[in-house]
Amino acid sequence: MPSIYITGKIAQSGITLLESRGFEINVNTSEVDLNSAQLKEIFSKYDAVVTMINNKIDKEILSSASKNLKIIANYAVGYDNIDISAASQKNIVVCNTPGVASESVAEYTFALITSLNKHLFAADQFVRTGKFTKFDPDLFLSKQLWGQTIGIIGLGRIGTFVGQIAYGGFRMKVLYFDVKPAEDFELLCEAKFSDVETILKESDVVTLHVPLTGKTKHLISKNEFKMMRKSAILVNTCRGPVVDEEALVWALSENEIAGCGLDVFEHEPQISKELMTKENVILTPHTASATYETREKMSAITAQNIIDVFGGKEPFGLVIE
């Protein structure tokens, strides 16, 4: 039977499904990411490889792929870590796990929004460090989210759910940008289709939900921060390089924006030291999709993608160049 290498931990349900179909499975149980040499060796030996978003599968690694390698199954919704063109040239199918993380990432996005707006992390540290000695009516004052304007850049499933939470839960005014207007979303959330510049200028909260492409890299840089309200907050739960991190540090230092919440970083897992010292910043370790439900769905889809490819069927998560 075909052999599969899994480069990191995945939910057991997917492994069990693959084993029930007779696949031979090896898993990297180390906490350390595989390096380029290790990945090249794996690609030269196995019939299928399950990759993580932090595995950079470039042309060099793909050049070592054996003729028997049929599929790279990315354990993620995104797939910008894989050179799709190079894989296609080697007749290797690339799959992802589309649609599974939308609800969890939307929930997490709003957790960052509310935490930033209400200064929750700073207030928590204030208590933990013994500074809370009496009630102070002026302590950690914030604006109500109720009725503020949220700008959603990228209206996929995640952006749509964020808009529903914002409008349905907080009666926020919703502005959004995507490749084209979404009439159903506009009716559901009284949302207004806007360009990016308008969103940056008019929003109290700007949240990013775009894929990483050549066009979206550094979509938010110094000029964009200058457009934003000084009282605005930025949240990024999509891809780190969408935000120019150096420009973000500048914007925070110059009080061009009021704060930001980041679950992804431009040079992940490295994070600029300046960001680490800012009190008006919340930093989390790429965990927006980390729910039990999402991980189980990702594992099942990953396994089924592999089963379908070896069964001669078109997989659900097929990535087309």
> Which residues are part of the catalytic machinery?
239, 268, 286
Contact between 86 and 220 under an 8 Å Cβ cutoff? The reply is no
Pull the structure tokens for residue 88.
């296609």
Give Cα separations from 211 to 75, 87, 103, 119, 303 (angstroms): 16, 20, 17, 29, 24
Pull the structure tokens for residue 66.
């054996």
Contact between 175 and 204 under an 8 Å Cβ cutoff? The reply is no
Report the run of H or E that residue 19 belongs to, with start and end: helix 12-20
Pull the structure tokens for residue 48.
């299928």
* Crossing angle between the packed helical segments 292-310 and 12-20, to the nearest 10 degrees: 20
How far out from the chain centre does Cα 212 lie? 10
Total Cβ atoms within 10 A of residue 278: 16
Contact between 145 and 169 under an 8 Å Cβ cutoff? The reply is no
Please report the DSSP string for 180-232 in residue order.
S--HHHHHHHT-EE--HHHHHHH-SEEEE-----TTTTTSB-HHHHHHS-TT-
Cα separation, 234 vs 242, in Å, equals 12
Give Cα separations from 300 to 14, 65, 150, 292 (angstroms): 5, 25, 34, 12
Query: What is the three-class DSSP state of 122?
Result: helix
Contact partners, residue 297, CB within 8 Å, separation at least 6? 97, 100
Query: What is the three-class DSSP state of 283?
Result: strand
